[in-house]
Amino acid sequence: MSAYDEIYQESLNNPEKFWGSAAEHIHWYKKWDKVLDDSDAPYYRWFTGGELNTCYNALDVHVENGRADQAALIYDSPITDSQRTYTYRELRDEVARFAGMLAEKGVVKGERVIIYMPMIAEAAISMLACARLGAVHSVVFGGFAANELAVRIDDAQPKVIVTASCGIEPGRIVEYKPLLDEAIDTATHKPDACIILQREQAIAALVEGRDYDMKELMASAEAHDCVSVAATDPLYILYTSGTTGQPKGIVRDNGGHAVALKWSMKSIYDIDPGDVYWAASDVGWVVGHSYIVYAPLFNGNTTILYEGKPVGTPDAGAFWRVISEHEVRCLFTAPTAFRAIKKEDPDGKLVADYDLTCLDSLFLAGERCDPATLVWAQEKLKVPVIDHWWQTETGWAICANCTGIELLPVKEGSPSKAVPGWDLRVLGEDLQEIKAGEIGALVVKLPLPPGTFPTLWNAKERHHEAYLADYPGYYKTADAGFIDEDGYVFVMSRTDDIINVAGHRLSTGAMEEVLSAHPDVAECAVTGVADKLKGQVPLGFIVLNAGCERSHEDIAKEVIKMVRDRIGPVAAFKQAVVVKRLPKTRSGKILRGTMQKIADVAPWKMPATIDDPVILDEITEVLKSIGYAKKE
């Protein structure tokens, strides 16, 4: 039996022993009474009776055990041409004073704090300060629309909101304060105080009696000690878009979160204390919570917080500069970032300008990784490129090639096998398991491992309805896919991206895999559109590599033939259009469902997380030019 198989089986056969052993590597004020509490199944809880502090485990424990002078956080901002490194001691002291500042404004254990910040060091500091107090933070992506922020204010009911005067994008300043003011005016709940970091690029006007200058408050703030909380107390709420338009507040607890994330750093990413780890994401997303802020610090690593883009700050070599300069051992980012780099520098010429010998691995997640992008990254970086699959709800990977346990052979298009702790199954429409290689609903047999979400904020019934009701005894991932005979998992698409063509259930992800293999295609999307005869037919959208001057018609014909050759006539793939860019959320997910609704002239709502709304106008015009997006 391989090392992976042995550990995986152990995690499923005796989860209490497995996770109890992992929990010994965390500092507890009071040890747990029960590793796994099943008294209220299907609402399982981990480490009930235990008490700890997340911030202590991220900072103080390292200061007290020999890492005080090691770099903990590197803030790297090509946007402002500035950098700052915090040692573990410096970061602990800054966080302790920040916690004292929040406490002076009435924040105590259990109170909520909304953090509405750009990618600056203060974003991570404010999260850790909340954890230090036992307060519950809710990070809202900086620059989010006022109405969306208002909805989150009303749901979380924060005592305090922490923000900055602005965010900085390439070529423009995004002022946050007018958005915050509008959100507070709109919201029913009013915070007691707003603490604003004034950035020199845009100074915000403060509302007397409500708004405070962060630097002024910090100048007189006193350090605050860590507050002991229950393992089952909430650490944070992270809102994710819901199908009803009402965001879902994913709750993360303190105990299971610390245990699972610390375990994951060595087991999944093969990262040792002292190593430099970089998750090129945003603190507004779950990857930023788990792998910019918490997991690397639990593990005694140096983590990088990057205020920049994969391209344009200044060019497609931006990531290589950061890796080389800070000696990054492991990079974790989204496939969409690599597709952007590949589009601008198809031959990877800029890689040669930097010494990347420090880099041991690249992990990708956030959107299905097409084999063409994975192969390109492998060829250019000459390190293992590992696709892994997880969700906001799970907080860490469901499937991965666990490099710290055993590096398995890579299968292109697969995020490898289920991670220890995850009992992943594939169910058919009759709720029964289906045979290897057949597409069905990917589900996880309960209980979910530690570090996942126990509930939704103030919405237990909605939690049950959205995740537990459809497959009793299982967690519904809402992803479709299959597990092959070797145990490798293939996540093909969201279940609503499976299209029905004349009775055949087909995966749009499988078609995208074919399109992305075309040498001129930088990225692509396939969605189903309504068809009177077949019910639905697939429509491909393709973005071409920079510098490609070939006929769009020729390329479209070639990709149509590729799908016919590789998937077969059953796919009914007869149309592909070239577009300048694809509509995406700020985390890089392609808005396939929105494109489908535009094509079918179905009602749709502007997604709150969209990166650039203008793209949808461009897509609408392209669709009209080929006969879609028009009322009959």
HSE, side-chain direction, 13 A CA sphere, residue 168: 17
418 and 565, same structural domain? no
State the pLDDT at residue 230: 98
Per-residue pLDDT tens digits for 39-68:
999 999 999 999 999 999 999 999 999 999
In this prediction, residues 393-413 reach a mean pLDDT of 95
The CATH number of the domain holding residue 411 is 3.40.50.12780
Candidate from 202-216, 248-262, 427-441 with smallest mean pLDDT: 427-441
Distant-in-sequence, close-in-space partners of 207: CB < 8 Å, separation ≥ 6: 181, 194
Please tell me the pTM assigned to this model: 0.85
Asked if residue 159 belongs to a domain, the reply is: yes
Q: Alpha-carbon distance 65 to 337, whole Å?
A: 37
| Cα 537 → chain centroid | 31
Average pLDDT of the chain, as a whole number: 93
pLDDT band at 504 (very low <50, low <70, confident <90, very high): low
259 and 126, same structural domain? yes
Tokens of 189: 């709940």
* Gyration radius (Cα) of the chain, Å: 24
168 and 295, same structural domain? yes
600 and 476, same structural domain? no
279 and 155, same structural domain? yes
Range of the domain at 156: 3-308+388-481
State the pLDDT at residue 247: 76
pLDDT at 236 exceeding the cut of 90: yes
How many structural domains comprise the chain? 2
Asked if residue 351 belongs to a domain, the reply is: no
Asked if residue 13 belongs to a domain, the reply is: yes
Which residues lie across from 578 on neighbouring strands? 542
pLDDT at 449 exceeding the cut of 70: yes
Residue 42: asked if its preceding bond is cis (omega within 30°), the reply is yes
Choose among 472, 488, 352, 484: nearest CA to 417. 488
410 and 551, same structural domain? no
Asked if residue 380 belongs to a domain, the reply is: no
The CATH number of the domain holding residue 606 is 3.30.300.30
Asked if residue 602 belongs to a domain, the reply is: yes
pLDDT at 385 exceeding the cut of 90: yes
Per-residue pLDDT tens digits for 108-119:
999 999 999 999
Contact between 517 and 371 (Cβ < 8 Å) = yes
Asked if residue 302 belongs to a domain, the reply is: yes
Candidate from 36-45, 290-299, 579-588 with smallest mean pLDDT: 579-588
In this prediction, residues 288-313 reach a mean pLDDT of 97
pLDDT band at 572 (very low <50, low <70, confident <90, very high): confident
Asked if residue 492 belongs to a domain, the reply is: no
* Domain stop point among 424, 449, 481: 481
Share of the chain above pLDDT 70, in %: 97
Per-residue pLDDT tens digits for 122-151:
999 999 999 999 999 999 988 778 888 999
Question: Apex CA 307: angle with CA 392 and CA 112, to 5°?
Answer: 45
557 and 414, same structural domain? no
State the pLDDT at residue 244: 47
pLDDT at 168 exceeding the cut of 60: yes
pLDDT at 503 exceeding the cut of 60: no
Per-residue pLDDT tens digits for 415-426:
999 999 999 999
55 and 149, same structural domain? yes
Contact between 73 and 124 (Cβ < 8 Å) = yes
Contact between 426 and 483 (Cβ < 8 Å) = yes
183 and 145, same structural domain? yes
Residue with the bigger pLDDT between 605 and 208: it is 208
pLDDT at 496 exceeding the cut of 60: no
pLDDT at 469 exceeding the cut of 60: yes
62 and 206, same structural domain? yes
Asked if residue 564 belongs to a domain, the reply is: yes
Residue with the bigger pLDDT between 293 and 413: it is 293
Per-residue pLDDT tens digits for 518-571:
999 999 999 988 887 777 889 999 999 989 999 999 999 999 999 887 776 767
What SS3 class is residue 57?
A: helix
96 and 166, same structural domain? yes
Residue 472: asked if its preceding bond is cis (omega within 30°), the reply is no
Per-residue pLDDT tens digits for 80-114:
999 999 999 999 999 999 999 999 999 999 999 99
State the pLDDT at residue 588: 73
218 and 129, same structural domain? yes
